[in-house]
Amino acid sequence: MKKVLYKHVTICLIAIFFTSKASAQQKIKLLNGKTIYPISYSIGEMFVNYKLEGDNSKKLRLVDKFDVFSVTDSENKEDVLYKPVDSLDFSIEDARFYMDGENAARTYFNKPGVRISSAGVGLASGILSFYSLPIPFFYGIAITQRNPKKLQLPEELKSMENNEAFRFGYNREARNIKMKQSLKYGYISLGVSIAALFLIVK
């Protein structure tokens, strides 16, 4: 019984240690929803200067203050740098929802059809040889003009579908993902198509 109790207490202490360590980690939260975990940082007039683990003593990284939402110190105290300039800007609360939407899209948005159709366009346009180079780019622009009809979210986030700021962030990041995938698969397949065409002609 004592051994079981001792083991249970040890596990709890380890969990508390790692939880407190994680919560004490410094963070730089960007407006694009991404988070940087520096070992040190300082806030200047125009930039947030920071160092990552493994950086040498002379290396200093910079991020524009206008791209930063907040910084969190080792005591878990958040300093919000984002300030709405006018009534058209998000409030601080809505900016958080917007970034949550971006992160949700990065995690859950998945459209295999974009990859398949882009690859098909690249292969088909290869017949035009080098004149086909702009085609995958224009196709990527075309398919990113529309927002996803439905937000791909787990059950616990379904309630966020009607939040305007969350939806805006999700849709914007989803369009970025579609564009990246379209360009990647479009140009890879175009390269394959042109190479195959040259081999056939030879």
Q: What is the pLDDT of residue 38?
A: 93
Q: What is the pLDDT of residue 51?
A: 92
Q: What is the pLDDT of residue 18?
A: 38
Q: What is the pLDDT of residue 58?
A: 83
Q: What is the pLDDT of residue 24?
A: 58
Q: What is the pLDDT of residue 126?
A: 79
Q: What is the pLDDT of residue 202?
A: 65
Question: In the chain, which residues fall in CATH 2.30.30?
Answer: 2-80
Given a contact cutoff of 8 angstroms between Cβ atoms, the answer to whether 192 and 118 are in contact is no
Residues 6+ apart with CB under 8 A from 148: 109, 111, 170, 171, 174
- Residue 148 structure tokens: 């996803």
35: left (phi over 0), alpha (psi -120 to 50) or beta: beta
CA atoms of 200 and 202, how far apart (whole Å)? 5
**Distances 171 to 102, 121, 136, 174 between C-alpha atoms, Å:** 8, 24, 21, 5
Beta bridge partners of 36: 28
What string of pLDDT tens digits covers the 202 residues of the chain?
Answer: 444 334 443 444 334 433 334 445 899 999 988 999 999 999 998 999 999 998 888 888 999 999 999 999 989 999 999 988 877 789 999 999 999 999 999 999 998 888 899 999 888 887 777 778 889 889 899 988 888 888 999 998 998 988 999 999 999 999 999 999 999 999 998 888 888 877 776 6
CA atoms of 107 and 181, how far apart (whole Å)? 15
Q: What is the pLDDT of residue 81?
A: 93
Query: What CATH class does 2-80 carry?
Result: mainly beta
